[in-house]
Amino acid sequence: MNRSNSIITIIGEFIIFNATVFSHLIKIRKRFPEIIKQMKRIGYDSLPLIAVTSAFTGLVTSVQASYQTSGYIPSSLIGVLVGKSTMIELAPVLTGLVLAGKVGASIAAEIGSMKVSEQLDAMETMAIDPVDYLYLPRIIAGFVIFPLLTIFANFIGIFSAFFLSVFKYNINAFSFFNNMKEFFLPSDLWGGLIKSIFFGLIVTAVGCFAGSKADKGAEGVGKVTTLTVVYSSILILIMDFIVAAILFGGLK
pLDDT tens-digit profile of 4-20? 557 888 889 999 999 99
User: What percentage of the chain reaches a pLDDT higher than 90?
Assistant: 56
Answer for the pair 162, 176: CB distance below 8 angstroms, yes or no. yes
Q: What is the pTM of this model?
A: 0.90
Amino acid at 148: L
Alpha-carbon gap, residue 189 to 154, rounded angstroms: 9
Q: What is the pLDDT of residue 9?
A: 86
Answer for the pair 130, 21: CB distance below 8 angstroms, yes or no. no
Q: What is the pLDDT of residue 69?
A: 67
pLDDT tens-digit profile of 182-228? 888 888 899 999 999 999 999 999 999 999 988 888 888 999 999 99
Burial of 227 (0-12, 13-18, 19+ CB in 10 A): middle
Average pLDDT of span 60-67: 84
Q: What is the pLDDT of residue 218?
A: 83
* 215: Cβ contacts below 8 Å, ≥ 6 apart: 115, 116
For the chain, what is the mean pLDDT? 88
Give the model's confidence band at 1: pLDDT under 50 very low, under 70 low, under 90 confident, else very high: very low
Alpha-carbon gap, residue 38 to 210, rounded angstroms: 18
Encode 195-218: b = buried (16+ Cβ within 10 Å), e = exposed. Answer: bbbbbbbbbbbbbbbbbbbbeeee
Q: What is the pLDDT of residue 252?
A: 47
Alpha-carbon gap, residue 165 to 168, rounded angstroms: 6
Q: What is the pLDDT of residue 70?
A: 67
Answer for the pair 208, 42: CB distance below 8 angstroms, yes or no. no
pLDDT tens-digit profile of 81-115? 888 999 999 999 999 999 999 999 999 999 999 99
Encode 156-190: b = buried (16+ Cβ within 10 Å), e = exposed. Answer: bbbebbbebbbeeeebeeebbeebbeeeeeeebbe
Helix (H, G, I), strand (E, B) or coil at 117: coil
DSSP category for residue 185: -
DSSP category for residue 26: G
